[in-house]
Amino acid sequence: MESGYEAVIGLEVHVQLRTRSKMFCACRNEYGGTPNGRTCPVCLGLPGALPVLNAEAVRMAIALGLAVGGEIRERSTFYRKQYFYPDLPKGYQITQGPVAVVERGRLCIPGDPLVRGGDGVVQVGIERAHLEEDAGKSNHDMGRGSSYVDLNRAGVPLLEIVGAPDLRSGQEAYDYLKAVHRLVTFLGICDGNLEEGSLRCDANVSVRRRGAPLGTRVEVKNINSFRFVRMALDYEIQRQTALVAKGEAFGQETRGWDADKGETRSQRSKEVAMDYRYFPEPDLPALVIARAEIDAVRAGLPELPEARFERFLAQYGVSPYEAGLLLQSPAFADCFEAAAGGGLGKQAANWMLGEVSRTLNERGQSIEALGLRPAHLAELIRMVEAGAVNLNTAKEVVFPLLLAGEGTPAAIVQGRGLGQVSDRAPIEAMVLEVLAANPGQLAQYRGGKASLKGFFVGQVMKAGKGKMNPTLVNEVLEQILASEEAK
């Protein structure tokens, strides 16, 4: 970025809450399904239908509020935000008014050394988090030149987390969104599925001369991936910096991110900004939260991801980079911890970030869908440690069979005769056989080509179908070669 200027960014993140039912009715809160199959008079906005607030959504908002060290407001109210859109049957969205259920929290992210001049942790303010309902979804065209409205999403509970303008680069916005994602998934209040829109983000960005008051902001909409947040903001920062540097004034506007073109495009300017004519929702009483309710939620909070990160470093001896990857999802972290017991943290980390991750990437699957029982992985790791099966066989043969559901690691190893050979006698015999079969290489080795030792080990392992204990093979080979030399 041009020197002397800085970007100021604040994100608004919409988090779909994983409640059983919708925000104000008993319809199930689920993704997809037969269009309009999960609707009722309340979420269809039929006249006379009355909303009833979902207590589970309130508890989830409190959990988020406590996790970000925010203030849980004892009394907040709901408002109607009015606008017309085909997927908004009521003609208004129920959202919270001037007082939000959560206010003034914070979330830590790594600062971007490129704009902060040094690394360190940055505390990003959370201005507020308020409850509201999602709209339905318009599906355009669908090959028939028409638009179709699906109201299954109408009334799904949302928690809108409004971040303070404390971010200074696309990278920091990316890290902040990651931190929000990690927090809500580890709190268990959101499934975190970006492809399904479970977490959506609008980014506000302005550019100013360093130290100057806040500049005119642009709101970038339609960002639905971590990568796009960084790309859209990098683009927008460059665009605005060029304008500001030329002294060109521009107005407040809303722009959309076009992922195909890699640019933002103007959607509407301030002049045509909507007046939503907010007014208090007459059909809902104030949301009043008792101390006891907050205490109950606090008592039920899981270990927060930041604390878990620190514990992973201390307890399992993994690096910060590894800990970050191990905390990619609650199920992934849980699987790691189940396998890491008994001082096997390093080994478990290697498996999770090696074989397990490779398989997930290959299959494009989540750990939940993989069908790996953490107890099975733990057993396999212990068998390798105990020398009951060698690491290569465990990775290449036992692990895939485990995923195929062939039984426990012990049963697979026994049933398929994969046990590691750790007896000296058969290994000695195999080493002698290999040396006898390769007189040329043996002569070269004696002539000083020490690297051929690896070749011999490979031949022995191959002849032993990979089941021989590699440490012992090395040891025996060395002894025999040494005694050969002595001859």
Question: For binding to Zn ion (CB under 5 A), which residues are involved?
Answer: 25, 27, 40, 42-43
Q: Which option in ligand ADP, Zn ion, none does residue 183 bind, with CB closer than 5 to 8 A by kind?
A: none
Please check whether residue 207 is in contact with residue 2, taking contact to mean a CB–CB distance below 8 angstroms: no
CB burial class (10 A; 0-12, 13-18, 19+) of residue 226?
middle
Closer CB to ligand ADP, 223 or 367, in the complex: 223
d(CA 168, CA 455): 55
Please check whether residue 264 is in contact with residue 257, taking contact to mean a CB–CB distance below 8 angstroms: yes
Smallest distance, Zn ion to C-beta of residue 158, A: 15
CB count, 10 Å around CB of 272?
9
Closest CA to 337 of 326, 329, 325: 326
Which residues have a Cβ under 8 Å from the Cβ of 264 and sit 6 or more positions away? 218, 220, 232, 235, 236, 239, 255, 256, 257, 258
Closer CB to ligand ADP, 12 or 74, in the complex: 12
Residue with the CB atom nearest ligand ADP in the bound state: 10
Closest CA to 434 of 419, 417, 454, 418: 454
Phi first, then psi: give them for residue 160, nearest 5 degrees.
Answer: -95, 120
Closer CB to ligand ADP, 205 or 231, in the complex: 205
Smallest distance, ligand ADP to C-beta of residue 167, A: 8
Smallest distance, ligand ADP to C-beta of residue 326, A: 30
Cα distance from N-terminal residue to C-terminal residue, the chain:
72
Closer CB to ligand ADP, 30 or 219, in the complex: 219
Q: Which option in ligand ADP, Zn ion, none does residue 136 bind, with CB closer than 5 to 8 A by kind?
A: none
Closer CB to ligand ADP, 10 or 345, in the complex: 10
Closer CB to Zn ion, 281 or 337, in the complex: 281
Closer CB to Zn ion, 26 or 307, in the complex: 26
Applying CB under 6 A, the residues found at the interface with ligand ADP are 8-12, 162-165, 204-206, 214-215, 217
Closer CB to Zn ion, 25 or 67, in the complex: 25
Smallest distance, ligand ADP to C-beta of residue 162, A: 5
Closer CB to Zn ion, 42 or 158, in the complex: 42
Enumerate the H helices of 268-329 as residue ranges. 291-299, 305-316, 320-326
Smallest distance, Zn ion to C-beta of residue 42, A: 5
Smallest distance, ligand ADP to C-beta of residue 241, A: 13
Sign of CA pseudo-dihedral 117, 119, 125, 131: positive
Smallest distance, ligand ADP to C-beta of residue 273, A: 9
Closer CB to ligand ADP, 8 or 421, in the complex: 8
Q: Which option in Zn ion, ligand ADP, none does residue 43 bind, with CB closer than 5 to 8 A by kind?
A: Zn ion
Smallest distance, ligand ADP to C-beta of residue 203, A: 8
d(CA 29, CA 33): 11
Q: Which option in ligand ADP, Zn ion, none does residue 409 bind, with CB closer than 5 to 8 A by kind?
A: none
Smallest distance, Zn ion to C-beta of residue 284, A: 15
Chain centroid, CA 29 distance in Å: 21
Smallest distance, ligand ADP to C-beta of residue 317, A: 39
Q: Which option in Zn ion, ligand ADP, none does residue 173 bind, with CB closer than 5 to 8 A by kind?
A: none
* DSSP of 130-194: EEEE---EEEEETTTTEEEEE-TTTT-EEEEEEE-S-B-SHHHHHHHHHHHHHHHHHTTS----T
Q: Which option in ligand ADP, Zn ion, none does residue 40 bind, with CB closer than 5 to 8 A by kind?
A: Zn ion
Q: Which option in ligand ADP, Zn ion, none does residue 305 bind, with CB closer than 5 to 8 A by kind?
A: none
Closest CA to 459 of 445, 448, 447: 445
361: part of which helix (H) or strand (E)? helix 357-363
Q: Which option in Zn ion, ligand ADP, none does residue 25 bind, with CB closer than 5 to 8 A by kind?
A: Zn ion
Q: Which option in Zn ion, ligand ADP, none does residue 162 bind, with CB closer than 5 to 8 A by kind?
A: ligand ADP
Closest CA to 68 of 172, 164, 198: 164
Q: Which option in Zn ion, ligand ADP, none does residue 370 bind, with CB closer than 5 to 8 A by kind?
A: none
* DSSP of 364-389: T--HHHHT--HHHHHHHHHHHHTTSS
